[in-house]
Chains A and B, each alone.
Chain A
Amino acid sequence: MSGNSVPARFNVGDRVRVRDLPNLFYTRTQMYVRGATGVVAERTYEDLIPEDEAWNRDGAPREQFYIVRFRQKDLWSGYPFETDTLQTELPDRWLEPAGG
């Protein structure tokens, strides 16, 4: 449990967009949320990002994780219900401010 932590950039209620980094070898950021805009529903904990933890890089900096809530109709073409949402958990660096 060594390593520094990266300052958290987002708070509950912030609108965020998921970055579309390249696919190489491993990810926990689902394809269907790449580029989508959602709202931070909860700040959960600081942890290693999956890209480091998956290769056991225990000393790497820790980042804030967030539960981000998306509208289902923003994720799936032709999704029929207005109010349905989907939540998933993402680390700080996979998000960027979406404004609004």
Chain B
Amino acid sequence: MPTKEALDGYYAVGARLGPIKHEQNDWPYEITRAEFAAYMVPPHDVGGQPDAPVRYEEKQEELWELNTYVTCEVLGWRGIWNSEERRRLGNNDLGATLYYGFPYYGRWIWAAARMLIDKNHITLIELLEKVAEVKARQQKGAA
């Protein structure tokens, strides 16, 4: 269970990833047409938006990134999903905070897990139990 301090930390990171202009906007009864239009733009349609320069960096893929890549490709070869579903889930359905906040392959593995649950290949509780089991095993190994 996260401590109170850890929870405050999660919320602080979420707020930092949000838009720069902060307005109180919590479940309003009404929104303007302009706000509705802005909210409905799919988060991955970023062409033409202002952004900071990207720093170019030489970097090899890490093992978890390669494992993620292979997992997602194999799910494709087996016909479990196609490339457009992968874009929808991993670029769009995860929402703006994760789109900007996750590493590239973090979005991929989020999408794979979400799809497997959406299509009833696994259940959410199975996945939660599995992640908890692996986490416990790793902590034991590290101790």
Residues of chain A touching chain B, judged by Cβ–Cβ distance below 8 Å, are 22-27, 30-32, 48, 50, 53-56, 75-76
Contacts and interface: CB of A to CB of B under 8 A. Distances in A.
B42 interface: yes
Contacts of B54: none
Contacts, number: 41
Interface of B: 37, 40-42, 45, 47-48, 81-82, 84-85, 87-88, 92-93
B42 A27 contact: yes
A26 B44 CA distance: 9
Contacts of B84: 48, 50, 53-54
A27 B85 CA distance: 12
Contacts of A25: 42, 88, 92-93
A32 to B, nearest CB: 5
Given A24-B40, A25-B92, A30-B45, 10 more contacts: A22-B40, A23-B40, A25-B88, A25-B93, A30-B47, A31-B41, A31-B48, A53-B85, A54-B84, A55-B85
Contacts of A56: 81-82, 85
Q: Which of B45, B81, B84, B87 has the most CB of A within 10 A?
A: B84
Q: Which 10 A-B pairs have the closest CB atoms?
A: A53-B84, A54-B88, A23-B40, A54-B84, A32-B48, A30-B47, A26-B88, A31-B45, A27-B42, A50-B84
A86 to B, nearest CB: 9
Q: Which of A27, A48, A75 has the most CB of B within 10 A?
A: A27
A76 B87 CA distance: 26
A17 to B, nearest CB: 18
Nearest to A24: B40
Nearest to A88: B47
Contacts of B85: 53-56
Given A23-B40, A24-B40, A54 B87 contact: yes
A50 B84 CA distance: 7
Contacts of B47: 30-32
B82 A23 contact: no
